[in-house]
Structures are given as C-alpha cells and as structure tokens.
Amino acid sequence: MWSIDIIEDRTEDGRKIRILNFIDAYSCYAFPPLVDSSIRGEKAASYLKKLISAYGIPKVIVRDNGSEFRSKEFGKVVKRFRIEEVVIPPGEPFKNDYVESYHSRLCEELLSAEVFENLDDARRKVAE
C-alpha cells in the first residue's frame, strides 16, 4: 500500500514548489520525491509509472481527491496496473496518516528550516 500526497512550499523569491511524495505504508519507505513548480495529472502519472518500474506495483494507493490524482492520465495508469485506490474524504488528512506524518517531519526538518533559492536548489535539498 502506497500513501501519496503533495505538499507545497516557496522559493526565496516567492515561486511555488510542489513536492509529490509516495510512502510505502508497510516498510515506511519514502520513495524519491518529485519536486517541481507544477505537478499536473500527466506528470503525476508519469512519475507513478517510473516508480512502478523501479519498485513494483502497489496493490493499493491511498490518496486525497486532488485534481492531479483525478486526472484522466493518472486514472489510466492506475487502471493499467490494476491498482485499487482509496480516496480519503476532504478535510480528513488523518486517514492518509503515513504520508501526512512524513509531511509533518519534512516541514519540521527541512521546509521550515531551509530557504530555497530556486527550483534546482529545492530539488537538491529535498533529495538530500
């Protein structure tokens, strides 16, 4: 079971950064995140396929109802690999607790502690 979600931050000059995280609920392994200025459905779908080719197919994905996850492209990947989706209700992030807990630590240890000069700086620091 993979728990997925996006968290946002900003660069020093105010540009948006989005971080797409995938967490394996069984092992609590955080897969390498996707860091970009915009993450739409096709980008999220492409990244899901990349993670599947590297780590295998999850049986279940737990996600919120974000537009990137409701997109046609993302839905095609989920359907192609026969992944069950569990969509948490709006306003109930605690039902996606693995990734929300990870985001809490990410905010505490990185996002609140660092200033990102630009997108490349954010990618490097998040990867580290």
Residues pairing with 11 in the sheet: 116
- For 6-65, give the DSSP string: EEEEEBTTS-EEEEEEEEETTT--BPPPEEES---HHHHHHHHHHHHHHH---SEEEE--
Contact 7, 33 (CB under 8 A): no
Query: Domain-by-domain residue ranges, the chain?
Result: 2-127
127 is written with which tokens? 């990867």
Among residues 95, 112, 117, the alpha carbon closest in space to that of 7 is found at: 112
Q: What is the pLDDT of residue 93?
A: 66
Give the pLDDT mean for 34-49: 96
Quote the pTM value. 0.89
94 falls in which pLDDT band (50, 70, 90)?
low
Give the pLDDT mean for 83-112: 79
Range in 38-42, 51-55, 105-109 the model is least confident about: 105-109
CATH superfamily membership of 2-127: Ribonuclease H-like superfamily/Ribonuclease H (3.30.420.10)
